[in-house]
Homo-oligomer: A and B are copies of this chain.
Amino acid sequence: MVRRSDTREAIRAVALELFGERGYERASLRELAVRLRITKAAVYHHFATKEDILASLAEEFAARLDELLTWGRAQPPGPGTRRELLRRYAELLAGRHGRLVRFLEDDRAGLRDLAAARDLHRRLDELAGLLADDGAAAAGLLADGGRTAAATLRARLCLVALHDGAAARVAGPAAGPSRSWSTSGEVELREAALAVAQDLVC
């Protein structure tokens, strides 16, 4: 174990949980500190601002997303690539990042003018762009805008599908935190989401 800073990591984890429950704005550093059994000031020792906590979580995800985008850009456009792109993205969302992206989707309004969130949305837009890349569109066959708008929408929707699939718990803030979340129903949901998503752009 490295545990160079135990507290910093604990803050990140609890903050992600809290952001997901309350949204970014309503998640107060006071409550964050209470859950961690430290004080607000202690939090400020590790992060300069509230936004920095979010940024720290976002960067981690952004790095993984960049890997995926780099891979995707290097592939020849087509149904096979899109299918594999979605599979890899779904895999990426299975861990901690699923909670982040879920919260990102649920709190667009609250995050609208935060740099960290905008950066992430920019990357997701690029991912959607790769998924909307029709082959047909690349070949210049579509002068008509109608089908392009539809393809763009479909790409966006299939990301929403995966993000929905990444929704872990429904509610239950009172339940014990160390319960296993990997119920069979959840895995089923993830698989159904991937299937629907692939169906949308393949």
In the assembled complex, how far is the CB of residue A106 from the closest CB belonging to chain B, in whole angstroms? 4
18 example contacts (A-B, Cβ-Cβ < 8 A) are as follows A22-B112, A23-B109, A23-B112, A24-B109, A25-B110, A26-B110, A103-B109, A107-B107, A107-B109, A109-B110, A147-B192, A149-B189, A149-B192, A153-B161, A153-B193, A153-B196, A156-B164, A157-B160
Count chain A residues whose beta carbon lies closer than 8 angstroms to a beta carbon of B.
35
Q: Within 8 Å of chain B (Cβ to Cβ): is A191?
A: yes
In the assembled complex, how far is the CB of residue A190 from the closest CB belonging to chain B, in whole angstroms? 10
**Chain A residues engaging chain B, CB cutoff 8 angstroms:** 22-26, 103, 105-110, 112, 145-147, 149-150, 153-154, 156-157, 160-161, 164-165, 185, 188-189, 191-193, 195-196, 200
Q: Which one of A105, A109, A157, A188 has the highest number of Cβ atoms from chain B below 10 Å of its Cβ?
A: A109
In the assembled complex, how far is the CB of residue A147 from the closest CB belonging to chain B, in whole angstroms? 8
Question: Do residues B149 and A110 form an inter-chain contact, with CB atoms below 8 A?
Answer: no
Known A109-B110, A149-B188, A157-B160; further 8 A-B contacts with Cβ < 8 A = A22-B109, A23-B109, A107-B108, A107-B109, A147-B192, A153-B192, A156-B164, A200-B200
In the assembled complex, how far is the CB of residue A24 from the closest CB belonging to chain B, in whole angstroms? 7
Q: Point out the residue from B110, B147, B196 that lies within 8 Å of A23, measured CB to CB.
A: B110
> When A153-B164, A157-B157 are in contact, do A146 and B192 touch as well, CB less than 8 Å?
yes
Q: For the complex, what is the distance from the CA of A26 to the CA of B109, rounded to whole Å?
A: 9
In the assembled complex, how far is the CB of residue A153 from the closest CB belonging to chain B, in whole angstroms? 5
Chain B residues, CB < 8 A from A193: 153
In the assembled complex, how far is the CB of residue A144 from the closest CB belonging to chain B, in whole angstroms? 10
